[in-house]
A and B are shown apart, each in its own frame.
Chain A
Amino acid sequence: MKLEFKMIAVLTAIALASGGILAYTYVSAIDSIEKNNEEAKKKAVTKVLPGVQEYKEVKIDNHTSYFIGRKDDEVIGYAVLTEGSGFQGMIKLMVGFDRDVTKITGLEILENVETPGLGNRITEDWFKEQFKDRMPELCVVKGRKPENEHEIMAITGATISSKAVTKIVNQAFEKLKKALGGEE
């Protein structure tokens, strides 16, 4: 057997075997992965839209979608699932708005890779609670208490992560307004 032929044959065989095994693993894992994603979404929607009973997801773009939350067949609010860059990587979050999109009803951080102990304190309740009942356009202040309803207090030592979250929330609001406006 010639060497070239053997080389090609061996590499092809290994690549085919690898592709086959991976396709099989992927097919058997994808259901659980999607179930996990759906459950994470469900948990987040229930948190940011208090009292929600059912919801429908509408895609805005590849990485953003919004959920119409209903209770007793009445729309009670909208939740936007979106992502943006933080200090170290992407932050994926969900933010809920009331029915008339006049204030924020809740915020949940789904994924982040911010620095443990500093940046990833954006997942702590006191930080997320700040956003409740506020209205974009939001901005971050540090070193002093927020003075009006547009100000969010930064986490000590993690101003960048705090600003990133605030910015993503502002963008989510803009995207939602545009998407809802387009429907009417």
Chain B
Amino acid sequence: MSLLIIIIATVLVNNFVLSYFLGICPFLGVSGKASSAIGMGFAVTFVMTLTAAITWLIKYKVLLPFHLPFLEYVSFILVIASLVQFVEMFLKKSVPGLYRALGIYLPLITTNCAILGMALLGSLRHYNFIENLVFGFGAGIGFTLALVIMAGIREELEFADVPKPLQGAGITLILAGLLALAFMGFSGMISGG
């Protein structure tokens, strides 16, 4: 499978948020402002790409050779949690500018199911190392795209007259539904994987 197809498939056709429902919590929580949506999106893309590389190495170089498949979930989530911590410390020391931009979003990422979801889906699909890396990157971009679009709509929504019970989460979910419907239009782009 060519790498381009993986990118298109994960960004548009099977968007992580809108068709796999991964990363919904930050999607609903953070997407109030376009600027913070972009920050969150880049932090997630960064961690996802790294996670894709490391979880692949763990699975194929440690767990499978030593016949420990049952430790997959535990080791993946530990990798993600420590990676987030490590990235946070590294950025703080070496790239303070980037740290100030991404810093507040990093701790939220550990419990972002999109990251673990990406690691597990990649593992289910038996990607090779490069494919897995591209998949992780594409998933992050797809997440960012959905988050930014949603934030843009919600900024406009502040001026709209929404029925009271639907204000907040209710209308956001319904909007996400309409967005998902629009994204389904992309499904014709890929034929047969």
Chain B 182-193 per-residue mask, 1 if CB under 8 angstroms from chain A, else 0: 000001101111
Q: Quick one: given A85-B193, A163-B191, A164-B192, are A26 and B70 in contact (CB under 8 Å)? A: yes
Cα(A90)–Cα(B121), bound, Å: 10
Q: Is A60 an interface residue when CB atoms closer than 8 A count as contact? A: no
Chain B, interface residues (CB within 8 Å), range:
10 to 19
Cα(A164)–Cα(B69), bound, Å: 28
Residue of A at shortest CB range from B78? A15
Residue of A at shortest CB range from B1? A85
**In chain A, residues 68-114, which have Cβ atoms closer than 8 Å to a Cβ of chain B?**
84-90
Q: Is A148 an interface residue when CB atoms closer than 8 A count as contact? A: no
Cα(A19)–Cα(B74), bound, Å: 9
| Nearest CB of A to B192, in Å | 4
| Nearest CB of B to A110, in Å | 14
Counting chain B CB atoms within 10 Å of each CB, the highest count among A22, A85, A164 belongs to A85
- Contact residues in A for B187 (Cβ distance below 8 Å): 87, 160
Q: Is A2 an interface residue when CB atoms closer than 8 A count as contact? A: no
**In chain B, residues 44-80, which have Cβ atoms closer than 8 Å to a Cβ of chain A?**
69-71, 74
| Nearest CB of A to B40, in Å | 25
B74 touches A90 (CB 8 A): no
Q: Is A32 an interface residue when CB atoms closer than 8 A count as contact? A: no
Q: Quick one: given A89-B121, A160-B187, are A22 and B71 in contact (CB under 8 Å)? A: yes
B71 touches A19 (CB 8 A): yes
Some 30 contacts from A to B, beta carbons below 8 A apart, are A19-B71, A19-B74, A22-B70, A22-B71, A23-B70, A26-B69, A62-B126, A84-B193, A85-B1, A85-B125, A85-B193, A87-B187, A87-B193, A88-B14, A89-B124, A89-B125, A90-B124, A90-B125, A159-B191, A160-B187, A160-B188, A160-B190, A160-B192, A160-B193, A163-B192, A164-B192, A164-B193, A166-B192, A167-B192, A167-B193
